[in-house]
Amino acid sequence: MKFHTCNASVSKAALSIALVSAMFASPAAAQDSASDERAQRSGGLDVIVVTAQRREETLQDAAIPINAATGEELALAGVTDATALNKIAPALYTTSGGGANAGYFVRGVGNFTNNGYTNPAVAFNIDGVYIGRPSSTIASFLDVAVVEVLKGPQGTLYGRNATGGAINVIPTKPQLGEFSGYVSGSYGNYDAFDISAAINVPVSDSGALRLAAVVNQHDGYNSDGTFDAKDFAVRGQFYAEPSDVFNFRVSMDYSTQKGVGAGTNIQGVYNIIPPVPALRANQPVNGWRFDAAPDAVSAPYSGLHTPAADAYTATIAGAPLHSPYNGDYVYPFRNDKFFGVNAELNFDLGGVDLTIIPAYRHSELDNQFNGPPFKAAINQDTAEQFSVEARLSGSAGQLDWIVGGYYFDETVEGVNSFNQFATLGANAYTSKSESAAVFARATFNVTDSLRIVGGIRYTDENREFEADAVAVTGVCLEEPTGRAPFCPQVPTIPVGLTLQDSLSQFDPALFPARPISTYDPNGPNGVGQVFPYGPFNVGGDFPPGPGALLIITPNQIQRSGGDGEVTYRAAVEYDITPDNLLYASFENGFRAGGFNASRGNEEYAPEFIDAFTIGSKNRFFDNRLELNLELFYWKYEGQQLAALGVDVDGNNSFYTRNVGESSIKGADIDFQFLATETTKIRGGVQYLDATYDSYMFNQTDLADPADPPELLRPVTTCDATQDLATDSYDVDCSGKAALNSPKWSANIGIEQTVEFGELRLIGSVDGRYRGAREVGFNYIPESRIGSDFTMDAALTLGDIDDRWTLTAYVRNLTDEAVLSVVQLGAGNVVGANYQPPRTYGLRAKFNF
């Protein structure tokens, strides 16, 4: 019934869009050829050319939901990497949680990718090449021509891991017969500086070389030095046209990310409330009380490594207690390297065009990050991917067509260690993915203004996963007398990349009954080896030791499997006039299942999404007003969510699971208005209703069998039902808002140009509003953040020939502290990451 209601609503809305477009359209112009008219456009608003549909077309002619920005627009907005792309697309939400990790969400569809074998839900493509590991997307943008953000599943032309959409980063390409380039530099607060340069050199009449490089760094935004940047990237491209029927381009790039990386603040801790109904009544989180950290600790942009934070974590049970055997959070670092080489070969076969894009990418990650979930999370992995895409395209009468094939092969080998003070999860893994696909799309031009589009893709995914995982758990034998259920008898486990590194740092005197050196890594799979602690005396409210055990459980995981799926697209496009486009489409997508190195959560299934879209793209008043409207309805099934959870050994573990279904619907409006020849107003508004229709998962019960019922309920506002037979809780978050899905989002900006003599002055102010939203997967009150409004401003002076510019800028003008991610970690400590604070500086650019 809901399906039919939605169709009826969409039909009415589509009629409204059509009427709006028709009211402003010129009847006389409607009789002209659309293609001829588009070719004659001049003056008015600038035209951006995109290639999102595997062909060159203007942004306004692309009958798909898409945002795009030029490299200059990105530089002015301070977008130096993919995590800041939400400045240009209200539908996009980006997160960075530490190390090389990045997460991308489009209208609530996305994924956190905190390890080397978690797949994204938004496909990231650089220079036409799909990037398998989201960690490879954080490196600085370099000599960018255009960035495209496609909203919704891209099941036919993109296919792999594009259920939420796709991000395309397109570099500036070599130009024949042209000697040109630029040098740009900036300096700002936090000792921030950015130096970039590019040069285009003709090699012969038929060849050109383009070289570009950038250095981008700043001190930590947090008081403890975290949240910094230290990036470097270089790219070389060669383009040639050996003949009239063949051209090719080869590109090679190298980049590094160093420094400290993202930092986390402590918000407070959840302490248990005894299972007495009168005490637990009227609590937002049943069974738990949130105790906020002091202001000096929880203040935005402070960090985990300040003296105030150290003093606070020594007093909270969640540390646990930093007894004489415990220690502080380990300081983070990152040292990541990325290399890639790709080519594009174009052949004119006489009425048919052939394009081949082979590519190879290699990355090496070595980073350590932390936060309330982890005393130290260490990640070292190496990823190699090879891909090739081949496309044939042409026309036959009224039919435009494209067919192609795609092959992708990736191997990731890594070692991870997630130290959670009194527990440890470590694993060495190898993940292999192989994907092959064939696809086709046809556009039938019924008339000069009416087109019918159909597309289909078959994808075959195969995966292999092997992991030697180990769970180390400190277990109390005696309940503490004061602050149950925490166990300060268990010392903090030393930090090391591998289990052997950690065990070798233990004081042998802690294990008189059974030496820790007798641990057998080849012991029975899934069977814990027990090492008694102590005796030693903790004191205070707690009885003396021993009273505790260290249990080490090895787990060997070997999994393989595959998925084959057909995805398709059907669309209708209609030009009311050459400047007024109506379109309607259906497209679906899928993301293959996979494997985890988490005991009890080793596998997850594919996810699927169906998307219905009705939209209109319009230019009015001689290309002075651009107005785009979109209505969308998405149905999401088998949704994959990668998040921190508790494995069967009681460890906090990051793994992917299928949580259920969601419905996503709303409307999107984008506009630009050239009010005068020197005044431009731009903006966009999105209304989003993204709700989990079904969101359920199972979580291990950490209480002892002798404890009172529901002593250790999951820390969440979701419903949780204890299952005594399986020692677990069934958690139901159905009806909750999807992650990173504010109901209202809006961008608004104005740009004013003043010319005097040979000089030009451009002033701009841009604002972004995001409504209240959920930024943590535990659904605790602290992760439901309020709305925020941030502003950027810039003033640029230059000559009218664009030979040089000098820009003064300020970003986040009012210094809003905007939360990005909230996590509930070990010991129920709540941590938070923020978006950047206010930054300002000067930027100079010289073109030649």
Q: Does the pTM of the predicted model rise above 0.85? A: yes
36 pLDDT band (50/70/90 cuts)?
A: very low
Looking at the chain, the whole-number percentage of residues with pLDDT higher than 70 is: 88
Q: Is 200 helix (H, G, I), strand (E, B) or coil?
A: strand
Residue 731 and residue 746 in contact, taking contact as beta carbons nearer than 8 Å = no
Burial 333-370 (b: 16+ CB within 10 A, else e): ebbbbbbbbbbbebbeeeeebbbebbbbbbbebbbbbb
Predicted pLDDT at 359:
97
Highest mean pLDDT: which range of 83-87, 518-522, 667-671: 667-671
Predicted pLDDT at 652:
66
Tens-digit pLDDT profile for residues 718-768: 999 998 888 889 999 999 999 899 999 999 999 999 999 999 999 999 999
User: How distant, in Å, are the alpha carbons of 116, 131, 368, 549 from that of 254?
Assistant: 20, 14, 22, 48
650 pLDDT band (50/70/90 cuts)?
A: low
Predicted pLDDT at 137:
66
Q: CB count, 10 Å around CB of 274?
A: 11
Nearest residue to 779 (alpha-carbon basis) of 286, 302, 350: 286
In terms of phi and psi (left: phi > 0; alpha: psi -120 to 50; beta: otherwise), the region of 795 is beta
Tens-digit pLDDT profile for residues 66-83: 999 898 888 877 787 777
283 pLDDT band (50/70/90 cuts)?
A: confident
Residue with tokens 């009449």: 205
Task: Check residues 523 and 706 and name the one with the higher pLDDT.
Answer: 523
272 pLDDT band (50/70/90 cuts)?
A: confident
116 pLDDT band (50/70/90 cuts)?
A: confident
Element (H or E) spanning 805, and its range? strand 804-811
Predicted pLDDT at 327:
57
Residue with tokens 């496009």: 573
Strand 122-126 relative to strand 165-171: parallel, antiparallel, unpaired?
Answer: parallel
Burial 408-441 (b: 16+ CB within 10 A, else e): bbbbbbbbbbbbbbbbbbbbbbbbbbebebebbb
Q: Is 223 helix (H, G, I), strand (E, B) or coil?
A: coil
Residue 368 and residue 377 in contact, taking contact as beta carbons nearer than 8 Å = yes
Tens-digit pLDDT profile for residues 321-341: 334 334 578 899 999 999 999
Residue 651 and residue 423 in contact, taking contact as beta carbons nearer than 8 Å = yes
Q: State the fold for domain 44-171.
A: Ferric Hydroxamate Uptake Protein; Chain A, domain 1 (2.170.130)
Element (H or E) spanning 13, and its range? helix 2-24
Q: Quick one: CA dihedral 207, 208, 209, 212, positive or negative?
A: negative
792 pLDDT band (50/70/90 cuts)?
A: very high
The span from the CA of 161 to the CA of 148, in Å, is 17
Predicted pLDDT at 32:
40
Residue 136 and residue 363 in contact, taking contact as beta carbons nearer than 8 Å = yes
Nearest residue to 826 (alpha-carbon basis) of 422, 473, 433, 516: 422
Q: Is 238 helix (H, G, I), strand (E, B) or coil?
A: strand
Residue 147 and residue 167 in contact, taking contact as beta carbons nearer than 8 Å = yes
Task: Report DSSP state, residue 40.
Answer: T
Predicted pLDDT at 27:
39
Tokens of 427: 């694993």
Strand 580-591 relative to strand 804-811: parallel, antiparallel, unpaired?
Answer: unpaired
The span from the CA of 336 to the CA of 75, in Å, is 24
Nearest residue to 620 (alpha-carbon basis) of 611, 629, 612: 629
489 pLDDT band (50/70/90 cuts)?
A: low
Nearest residue to 521 (alpha-carbon basis) of 500, 502, 506: 500
Residue with tokens 């090449």: 129
Tens-digit pLDDT profile for residues 615-625: 999 999 999 99
Question: Is a pLDDT exceeding 50 seen at residue 540?
Answer: no
Question: Is a pLDDT exceeding 70 seen at residue 101?
Answer: no
Average per-residue pLDDT for the chain: 86
Q: Is 826 helix (H, G, I), strand (E, B) or coil?
A: helix
Predicted pLDDT at 807:
97
Determine the average pLDDT of the residues in 234-263: 95
Question: Is a pLDDT exceeding 60 seen at residue 347?
Answer: yes
SS (H, E, C) 609-645: EEEEEEEEEEEECCCCEEEEEEEEEEEEEEEEEEEEE
Determine the average pLDDT of the residues in 85-89: 82
Tokens of 274: 């005894």
Question: Is a pLDDT exceeding 80 seen at residue 185?
Answer: yes
Residue 270 and residue 782 in contact, taking contact as beta carbons nearer than 8 Å = no
Phi, psi of 21 (to 5 degrees): -65, -45
Phi, psi of 153 (to 5 degrees): -60, 140
Predicted pLDDT at 758:
94
DSSP E strands, 420-537: 423-445, 450-476, 529-532
Tens-digit pLDDT profile for residues 392-437: 999 999 999 999 999 999 999 999 898 887 788 899 999 999 999 9
Determine the average pLDDT of the residues in 193-199: 96
Question: Is a pLDDT exceeding 50 seen at residue 16?
Answer: no
Read out DSSP for 742-784? -SEEEEEEEEEEEEETTEEEEEEEEEEEE--EE--TT--GGGE
Nearest residue to 263 (alpha-carbon basis) of 370, 379, 366: 370
649 pLDDT band (50/70/90 cuts)?
A: low
Tokens of 295: 């202001």
Q: Is 87 helix (H, G, I), strand (E, B) or coil?
A: helix
- HSE-up (13 A, CA, CB side) for residue 811: 18
Task: Check residues 795 and 416 and name the one with the higher pLDDT.
Answer: 795
548 pLDDT band (50/70/90 cuts)?
A: confident
Weakest-pLDDT range from 13-22, 342-351, 446-455, 561-570: 13-22
Domain ranges of the chain: 44-171
Q: CB count, 10 Å around CB of 291?
A: 13
Predicted pLDDT at 136:
64
Q: Quick one: CA dihedral 138, 143, 149, 154, positive or negative?
A: negative
DSSP E strands, 43-191: 49-50, 57-58, 66-70, 92-98, 101-106, 109-111, 122-126, 129-130, 144-151, 165-171, 180-188
